[in-house]
Structure 1
Amino acid sequence: MPISPYLTSLRERVGNDLLLLPAVSAVIRNDVGEVLLARSHGNDEWALIGGGLEPGEEPASAILREIREELGVEARVLRIVGAYGGESMFITYPNGDRCAYVTTAYACRLVSEAFTIEEDELREVAWFTPEDLSQLETQPYVARILADAGMAI
């Protein structure tokens, strides 16, 4: 789901102005130590699977929902990697909407690696080795979270 009804109602009132929003991110690794990254439509940078919280939603439940929505597969939360904010979490979307996210990152495992991406939201997902990561163009926050998860870029 690209934009929630809650966020739509906020945008109707504030337009493209900056919103501070809670979010979640998933560091998903497989049995050989690769990490799963995704690219969304309109952005060439690789990012972690994740998204915004809905009102009243627990962060751990939100990351499981986001994984289910974006990859069509169940997952389990292993641990919290950390909480992140600041300049690297500012995003301006193609439509001009500006957001400053504060994200809780979780280490997660997929129940099955046979997933199907949500093509309305993601255009590509791929597994990367730690060595591959230094060659990728990633969103600014990714290196910080992966380093805290034990995968330095």
Structure 2
Amino acid sequence: MPVPEFIRALRDVVGQRLLPLVAVTAIVHDDAGHVLLGRRADTGLWSVISGICEPGEQPAETAVREVLEETGVHCVPEHLVLVESREPMRYPNGDACQFLDITLRCRAVGGEARVNDDESLEVGWFASDALPPLEEFDLFRINQATGDGPAWFAPAPPRSAPG
């Protein structure tokens, strides 16, 4: 997967130290209620569509851009699903990062699902009761997106009162 230019510039300054980044995930549904997924080229696993928010870009813009770039599908963000700070991770090259994930429920409005870049091996629509194997967090986000409840976020841990 190509590294965005702004991250390359930051890495020139911070090296491989932990870099906080904003990621946007799009849970895209079609009119039949199917979910759009891509099979990632880097892991071979099926996943929801996501990407890194570029500087100055609104999360909804990131969702629309990433879905189109990766799948050829045009979508409209409709609802904030969740916000969660993920655990820090280290890539095989040694770069460390931590993503703040913003997940949006989106509706497909055009285009045809297809592999549209080198980040995916396959792209497809799946019924919610016939999903391929997915990581637990992907399933959680899909389930949250299908409900009508408020946006989810992890509660703050209890703290002692100042004393």
Smaller-chain TM-score bracket: 0.7 to 0.9
- Higher Cα radius of gyration: 2
The residue aligned with 2:108 is: 110
Q: Report the alpha carbon displacement of residue 139 of structure 1 after superposing the two structures with TM.
A: 3.1
Gaps of 5+ in 2: 148-163
- 1:102-138 CA-to-partner distances (Å, cap 9, x unmatched) read 11111112222513323312111122222223x51x2
Q: Report the alpha carbon displacement of residue 36 of structure 1 after superposing the two structures with TM.
A: 1.0
Alpha-carbon contact 1:23-1:52 (below 8 Å) kept: yes
Q: Name the amino acid aligned to 1:16.
A: Q
- Classify 1:40/1:11 alpha carbon distance in 2 versus 1 (closer, same or farther; 3 Å): farther
Larger fraction in strand: 2
The residue aligned with 1:128 is: 126
The residue aligned with 2:7 is: 7
Aligned length in residues: 147
C-alpha distance in 2 between matches for 1:81 and 1:12: 34
| Percent sequence identity over aligned pairs | 35
The residue aligned with 2:30 is: 30
Answering whether residue 109 of structure 2 is matched by residue 98 of structure 1, we say: no
Task: Please identify, of 61-70 and 1-10, the stretch whose mean Cα deviation from structure 2 is larger.
Answer: 1-10
Alpha-carbon contact 2:113-2:123 (below 8 Å) kept: no
TM-score normalised per structure 1:
0.82
The residue aligned with 1:20 is: 20
The residue aligned with 1:139 is: 135
TM-score normalised per structure 2:
0.77
